[in-house]
Chain A
């Protein structure tokens, strides 16, 4: 199973705290992506990275930050500036050129 792993599966945080979601892949993919999945809104792109040490904002980057120090890893930090952080977060990876994207199992973040 896998190739792309997200952890943890469930995460609870208090309002005002930053939290980091992990995403690791062993598929040797150059490109990695973070999406937020909300009911009725589909998948919305937060950040994406085509190569190590480079990343681009997606449609809803405000309140989020990422890093890409290693090819295998693309962690997402949900900061206290994100107004509505409770959501299901999906990480994906693909070969360069926008071929098939492989998804992780997702992390459900609940901020209380």
Chain B
């Protein structure tokens, strides 16, 4: 079975501090992994995907197959980063989402 685990429901950091949102997955093949973000009153949208290896809004995520992790990181958190973040895995047939982490950046 494919599953995505986000161990932290809530995460608070101060503005300017580093932030890391954890994601672990279980999958028997080669997964495609994503981070989605939901800002207040906005629709859920893609933040980044592992295959593109991009940095979006200062966020990066590295796929670690040995640890089966895909943690989301940003060196200096901003107030506008406050949102709900979901890690997701695709088996090319459907998407599996974690339970989400609510990030609050304290001014």
Contact = CB atoms under 8 A, between A and B. Distances in A.
Interface size class of B (residues with CB under 8 A): 20 to 34
Interface string A10-35: 00000000000000000000000101
Contact of B97 (A35, A98, A100, A105): A35
A103 B43 contact: yes
Contact of A42 (B32, B43, B46, B100): B100
Interface of A is mostly: strand
B44 A98 contact: no
A14 B14 CA distance: 45
Given A45-B94, A50-B93, A90-B44, A98 B32 contact: yes
Contacts of B6: 42
Nearest to A41: B99
Contacts of B86: 42-43
Contact of A98 (B36, B43, B46, B95): B95
Ranked nearest first, the 4 interchain pairs of A and B with the lowest CB-CB distance are A98-B90, A42-B99, A98-B92, A43-B97
